A and B are shown apart, each in its own frame.
Chain A
Amino acid sequence: MKRDTLTRVLDAQKAKQPFVLAINLKTHEQVELTAKLSGQEDWMMAEVHEAIRSDKSRTKTAPDGTPWFFNVFNPPLRLVIIGAVHIAQPLARMGVDAGYDVTVVDPRESFASPDRFPDVTLRSEWPDEALENIAPDARTAIVTLTHDPKLDDPALLVALRSPAFYIGALGSKKTQNARQERLSEAGFSESERARISGPVGLDIGAKSPAEIAISILAEITQTLRRGHP
């Protein structure tokens, strides 16, 4: 790989743009490709689109019989945490380790301080406004942790209208039932509300904030890899 190509891969990652590097395995020729590119051969662009869509790098044989490797560099998965509370600290750290671009949202700036949350993006807008700006896509997970309907509910209203692959809400069964009723009154159907995982996380008997973070990240992983239960 050329040093310049490496720079362009890293720049695309920063700009959250997908990037594909195609390598001719016989001649070692390398071609840099993006989804918007024109002028390349059709079969090659078809592989580029499919690699980006499926998020899977692959080896394919060109019409002339030459093997090519398509290495896709998609933007990182995103994890948005509402509430800069204690559980959010280990969850943010573990999220970074699991490859997520992590954002923590809390209008209470004493909670969402860079000292408490190194390595992540902090936003101090109200959760619904923050989520509108973040614009969650199908590669985004959203978790609400504040316990406070004033903060959690506005976030969930935006989350439920987004294609986010995972939506989780902290709270006991009783809290979940009350929340489901409020969301029902806000006009969300039962199947729409069923997208919310609550009580949040896999049932592993987690007690401490770090253990609860593990159970949440495990459920996010399960949903990412196997789909919503």
Chain B
Amino acid sequence: MAECRMNARSKPLDNNVLAQAAAWADAGQKVALATVIETWGSAPRPVGSQLAICQDANFVGSVSGGCIEGDVVTRALDSIETGASEVLEYGVADAMAWEVGLACGGKIKIYLEPLTLNPLIPDPAAGA
């Protein structure tokens, strides 16, 4: 199997994440994207910051200062398997604060989704 290798230097940092995600997908790798959708307090990365995760757990970009990336990557690998999208919450109030909480005292919401090769057909039975 081809590896999830990084491209060499490329242009703008934030686009880098999506360009790398596209390059992985084009190389036949499965990819997930994590995006900061809301922050409270002293969150280290602003809303819109993205992390792309390849199926072998290689990743590019960031959604925090490195505090929660490990957990996001683990969950991203599940998302790649199941094809499910979800909203993740991290922060001092979270039950998992001791393990993966933010040392800075901030709180972050992350949208985690797999990169899908074909348009998803909405399932009317699925609901919200």
Contacts and interface: CB of A to CB of B under 8 A. Distances in A.
A185 interface: no
B42 to A, nearest CB: 16
Interface string A67-107: 00101110010000000000000000000111111000000
Interface stretch (B19-27, B57-65, B70-78, B97-105): B19-27
Interface stretch (A21-29, A128-136, A158-166): A21-29
A73 B19 CA distance: 13
Contact of B21 (A4, A6, A23, A28): A6
A1 B21 CA distance: 11
Contacts of B127: 27
Interface residues of B, number: 32
Contacts of A59: 37-38, 47, 109
B41 to A, nearest CB: 16
How many A residues are at the interface, by size bracket? 20 to 34
Given A10-B22, A59-B47, A76-B12, A25 B117 contact: no
A114 B38 CA distance: 41
Given A6-B25, A28-B85, A57 B48 contact: yes
Given A72-B48, A99-B13, A2 B18 contact: no
Contact of A96 (B11, B19, B21): B11
Given A1-B33, A57-B48, A59-B47, A101 B11 contact: yes
Contacts of A137: none
A73 B87 CA distance: 20
A2 B47 contact: no
Given A2-B120, A96-B11, A56 B48 contact: yes
B13 A2 contact: no
Interface of B: 9, 11-15, 18-19, 21-22, 25, 33, 35, 37-38, 46-48, 85, 87, 109, 111, 113, 115-120, 122, 127-128
Given A6-B18, A6-B22, A96-B12, 14 more contacts: A3-B117, A6-B25, A13-B12, A23-B111, A25-B37, A56-B46, A57-B46, A69-B35, A69-B37, A69-B111, A73-B15, A97-B13, A99-B14, A101-B11
